[in-house]
Structure 1
């Protein structure tokens, strides 16, 4: 592992930048007002800054700005209402139920609205034990709002100074994710057989990659400055992201029958060399992503490994089957095209006039983004038990009420730690709740031990303050990547902060933190299992339907190129995006099922067969699209209308078995008419035609596998 590169990646990431902003905005007010003799004002501003800063997720500036406004207003109102009524336990209990439901339900309007609601819930939790007069409550609410304004000011000013910084970080991180996906592909060349772990790793990375690409689309395509500006930097950022998605398709399109390849080439050692080359290329791609993220220029060093591999293959040509030789030749061509696209990406990092002359106008960016309207009808439409958000909101409200009641009977501790643990751990799907339960509880125990030892041996105030700031920065930097480490670091931060604020015996603080967190974690886990639980298998059928629809649309548009018509660039790219997103959602749903209780993991083998078949179908459709580009036009010796029709028949049958009746249509009409093909004697072109025919045959087989997996799944579930 290149530790210097890993450190640079960490240092220049968006999460680290956000963590530094959050830490600065949260720590500075208490320090300033402590020296002025008004620590309470600084503490209130700190809460306001924290509860506004965590809504600052990547996105277009007007969305971030509106999120700040909504968060500041909601936090202020919540603090005022709870501050006035927290002396009346019954009223406060009713408020906890109502606000927990309402704030959680805001997620129907999108991720940012959900973050605003979650942070308002945090304000509610922190205000539960605050005992103040009416005047103090009003002032405290205004100070919390002022803290939010303070953070929003910092964030928006930094955006004005560095308008492209966030976009560069997001694009760079998405390229780094593509490099991780590429590195996993090398496993298929390193060993024969036992590819299940590699396929599972691909599925997991696919989920992360699609989340990042969706975030980048939201950021780039909804930002007027980037889409409409004619500056070199705005053009390059758009082209860089579009090319990185094309590069991912190239990597995906390298799908082969790896068992057959190993049978044919294991004795030669050439597959191991291919795997080593892919690993080196993945390292280079990661370096390009890191350069984009850090706003550096990068230049790819020359590498003659591919030519050496081609010479090796030619030297053993007579010793291997012709089909194997042709497959490996196409793999080499795919690698060459990937290297050319990587070279183009590396040129983009220089942001010069030459790389900024690409055409942005051919792509309709509005078709690649989704809009979640803030509409009362959306709110009303989700007020039913079919809505996962509605069920989760009820579950959270009941769990918070149980946690509040339990906290009233405890003779020690801070009740808000119980409620805080519930709000953090309890998620819409039980599998996610279970994972966070162990990570939060384990992280708190380790963090409490580390923090307790630190407070026992270190009494120097500046040293403890330094440790507190460092743990906060690192903790918020790794929050999304490793919640266990985050829980450790945030526990250390909280213990030191309470030591400064209240100067209590640190052993009492450690005990309260551990016990209350354990209680809250157990309530959250129990609520996820008992209160109208949501299991991932309940949504699996819809994920399967969406996957088949997306694959069918993607295949139809690609097949047009081989039957006389060509789809528009926009139609093709939208269909490709929808297929990739559907595959990521399907994989994520399946991975969550594997974390749930055994009694809820029924028919897993059939689901796994379906997921793998769909993953391979998407990959081979991408291969077909890649061959259409690289092999120059159509090389069909026979009419492909028949196999296109058969593929659609199998996929239509699979949809019907899942309760999704496809629209009546003719498969051949969907793919277009077939152009006449002149006889060909060129061996290279004949090989190309054979390769295309093989891809159609594989897709036909996979469509049948998908239908069979759905049929078995339906029988077992009946």
Structure 2
């Protein structure tokens, strides 16, 4: 079995590491220039803080236009926040009013999704670090100006790097998506191993699919932003090559998702056959091929040498011939049709992976009409809308965003109160006077840890505390060794790069390197003092306790959002089915050469693929919320079996729809049984009474449709029944009240 690509190699060639290197360089350069060349250490720190505020919006894997707009918003709002905080810091009453108000206002930006949350956190970060040093009114203008210039430098620097390295960034985003696809293929291969538990395999598959959906969306937003224009320039050839790979990757995903397989039936009917073994080995080889392709895309190399699955395909053909000679097509036509479909899918996947490798060498255009193709592909992009109504509509006690903003404001108030108490505590002032001036670190810890969901807050709490403990231990070891200052500076730069790079990959390791980075900064600011290590550890511990305690104030439990997500997923699957049937009708009318009645089959297919993308996103949102609920306290969980069944049945339903529609499009008409099955599925999803067919035709090409149609009708019926159970229990129980 081919060995997978090592995770460390994946990381260093990913856009996570490249983005972390870009962010760390842009943040450290102002500080190094001002402190190293001009000896202005304080000014360098302020400029670095301003750059760090803007860098938070410069996330790897996102569309460049939104990144530039987000960084510009962070620059403007961050500078205003610096001025407001600096002016309020000189007044004891004003600072107690301004800090909670800013925490509430910027936390409300989570209504705008991920980018809104990052913008709010960037402003809260610069607010907290402005509290580090008390400013007079005369110093506020200078402090704000330096912070603004630091942020401006990062904005210009990032725009320049993006312009020069756009192809590299798109390659890395596509590489991450290809790696996620390879992991998904390897997980599906596990289903053909009779020694592995099916239930555990399904749980892993759903998590892999959610991660793959997120990676594909990031790659989609990068690759489809700048499409080829049909010129013969080098940049246009590069765009065409990445576009070809992306389209092939989505086609490969279609082949996997559209595989109607009853693994339990296969295991029961063929326990001693080598068929499952050959399928498993072939898919493992394909996963290794896609993983190798992903690595070569990230390294800007061509893929020529591949693991061949020809031996497994020939063995599968021989096994099917043996089963055919034993009379399986007559004895069990549906099982035989299922095995034939599995062989065809594996063969198609092999061809698609080979074509992807060829396109990495020779990026020839796939579309003759580029303008029309570009218009179609543009509809798959993520659109971010910043509407004021979305913010004002959430200013009420039942809004999860409003409750989160209130929690953050209360936590900030408590952090200030604890910091003030420590400043005036006689024991603390005697043992460690430095603790009195570091209360801002408690606020910063709280702001970093607290998230809208309870499970995310508790998770990040543990990660942050663990990372801080390890980072403090490593810092003490480094300070004990008494290394050369140049070496300390080199370690500081490495920690900054890894801290930024790992924040989306492994938060605990990111916290380790960020803690070490901060402690090294203080080591340069206050040489020879190791008490800062204990102070950082104590402040972090206090902040973790406050963040976890405040997460129980007006909590937003995931159970309150799952019903809405379940309805969205049902609507998405129904639209997926209806748009697929529209595509089937368009394909048939086109073959019948009826221009008056026919619609554009390419347009119908594009609409179907858009609905498929919406299904993947809706399913990913639902499963993510479900697993977050499972991480919450048991007494806060509701209707776990119902949600779990919905997750399984929706996954089955989407897979069977993806399998049935392309086969229906090849038929000129379907018999009554198949037509009734399609109508029953639509009725079940709409909540209407349905009449499933008693018999589904299995003659000829219809045998391959019988099994997926039965599974589709059954899954739709189960979705309807479970949704009705949710509605009945939802009306019977008492609504959740603020706690």
CA distance in 2: counterparts of 1:420 and 1:72, whole angstroms: 19
Aligned residue for 1:16?
17
Aligned length in residues: 687
Give distance in 1, aligned partners of 2:160 and 2:691.
55
Tell me the equivalent position of 1:551: 573
Matches of 2:5 and 2:243, distance apart in 1: 29
Deviations 1:223-280 (A, max 9, x none): 3x43656422223333332332232121111241111101122212331231122111
Matched, 1:649 2:651: no
- Counterpart of 1:332 in structure 2 is 343
Sort the Cα spacing of 1:600 and 1:189 in 2 relative to 1 into closer, same or farther, 3 A: same
Residue of structure 1 equivalent to 2:596? none
Asked if the contact 2:14/2:298 (under 8 Å) is kept, the reply is: yes
**Aligned pair 1:533/2:555, yes or no?**
yes
Residue from 594, 604, 619 that aligns with 2:630: 594
- Give the structure 2 partner of residue 663 of structure 1: none
Cα distance in 1 between the residues matched to 2:364 and 2:657: 36
- The RMSD of aligned alpha carbons is 2.6
- Distance in 2, matches of 1:62 and 1:562, equals 37
Aligned match of 2:385: 373
Structure 2 match to 1:294: 299
Pick from 118, 123, 127 the counterpart of residue 124 of structure 1: 127
8 Å CA contact 1:254–1:619 kept in 2: the answer is: yes
Distance 1:208-1:135 versus aligned 2 partners, 3 A rule: same
Trace 1:172-321 onto structure 2 (pairs within 5 A): 172-191=175-194, 194-221=197-224, 223=225, 225-226=226-227, 228=229, 230=231, 231-299=236-304, 301=306, 302-305=308-311, 306-318=313-325, 321=332
Q: Which of 409, 416, 426 is equivalent to 1:397?
A: 409
Alpha-carbon shift at residue 699 of structure 1 (Å): 0.6
CA contact (8 A) 1:193 1:259 kept: no
The equivalent residue for 1:156 is 159
How much does 1:387 deviate? 2.9
- Quick one: which of 133, 136, 139 aligns to 1:136? 139
Q: Give the whole-Å Cα distance in 2 for the aligned partners of 1:32 and 1:126.
A: 20
Separation in 1, partners of 2:4, 2:353: 23
Show the counterpart of 2:426.
none
1:700 pairs, out of 713, 723, 728, with: 713
Aligned to 2:66: 63
1:94 offset after TM fit, Å?
A: 1.0
Give the drift of 1:707. Answer: 2.0
Change in CA separation of 1:270 and 1:667 when aligned onto 2, cut-off 3 Å:
closer
Task: Determine the C-alpha separation between the residues in 1 that align with 2:478 and 2:211.
Answer: 36
Match of 1:108 in 2: 111
Segments of 5+ residues of structure 2 without an aligned counterpart are 424-434, 590-600, 733-739
Asked if 1 retains the 8 angstrom alpha-carbon contact of 2:5 and 2:291, the reply is no
In structure 1, the gaps of 5 or more residues are 657-665, 669-679
1:709 aligns with 2:722: yes
Return the alpha-carbon distance in structure 1 between the equivalents of residues 109 and 647 of structure 2.
Answer: 32
SS at structure 2 position matched to 1:349: helix
Question: Which stretch shifts more, 169-178 or 552-561?
Answer: 552-561
Q: 1:512 to 1:622 in 2, by over 3 A?
A: same
Cα distance in 2 for residues equivalent to 1:120 and 1:149: 15
Distance 2:68 2:377 in 1: 22
The question of whether the paired residues in 1 share the 8 Å contact of 2:4 and 2:288 is answered with no
**Structure 1 residues 534 and 206 mapped into 2: Cα distance closer, same or farther (>3 Å)?**
same
Alpha-carbon distance in 2 for matches of 1:374, 1:711: 35
Matched, 1:610 2:610: no
Offset of 1:357 from its aligned partner? 6.1
Show CA shifts across 1:458-490 (max 9, x none).
432222222222222122211111111111121
The TM-score normalised by the length of structure 1 is: 0.90
Q: What SS is found at the alignment partner of 2:51?
A: helix
Other structure's SS at 1:410 match: helix
Q: Which residue of 1 aligns with 2:89?
A: 86
Q: Secondary structure at the match of 1:478?
A: helix
Checking the alignment, whether the CA contact within 8 Å between 2:173 and 2:219 is kept in structure 1 is: yes
- Alignment CA distance shift 1:608-1:127 (3 Å): same
1:30 corresponding residue in structure 2: 31
Corresponding residue for residue 672 of structure 1: none
1:6, distance to aligned residue in structure 2 (A): 3.7
Paired with 2:716 and 2:46, the residues of 1 have a C-alpha distance of: 60
- The aligned residue for residue 76 of structure 2 is 73
Counting only pairs closer than 5 Å after superposition, residues 468-479 of structure 1 correspond to structure 2 as 468-479=492-503
Match of 2:41 in 1: 39
Instruction: Give TM-score, length-normalised by structure 2.
Output: 0.87
Matched-pair contact (CA < 8 Å) for 1:233–1:356: no
Of 26, 51, 54, which residue of structure 1 is paired with 2:53?
A: 51
Match of 1:344 among 355, 375, 381: 355
CA contact (8 A) 1:250 1:626 kept: no
Partner-residue secondary structure (3-state), 1:633? coil
Q: Is the 8 A contact 2:559 2:629 kept in 1?
A: yes
Change over 3 Å in CA distance of 1:351–1:528 after alignment to 2:
farther
Aligned in 2, Cα 1:597/1:386: closer, same or farther, shift over 3 Å? Answer: same
- Determine the C-alpha separation between the residues in 2 that align with 1:207 and 1:397: 32
- For residues 3 and 441 of structure 2, the distance between their equivalents in structure 1, rounded to whole angstroms, comes to 39
Q: Which stretch has the larger CA shift, 114-123 or 132-141?
A: 132-141
1:167 counterpart (167, 170, 180): 170
Q: Which moved more, 1:549-558 or 1:538-547?
A: 549-558
Give the superposition deviation at 1:71: 1.4
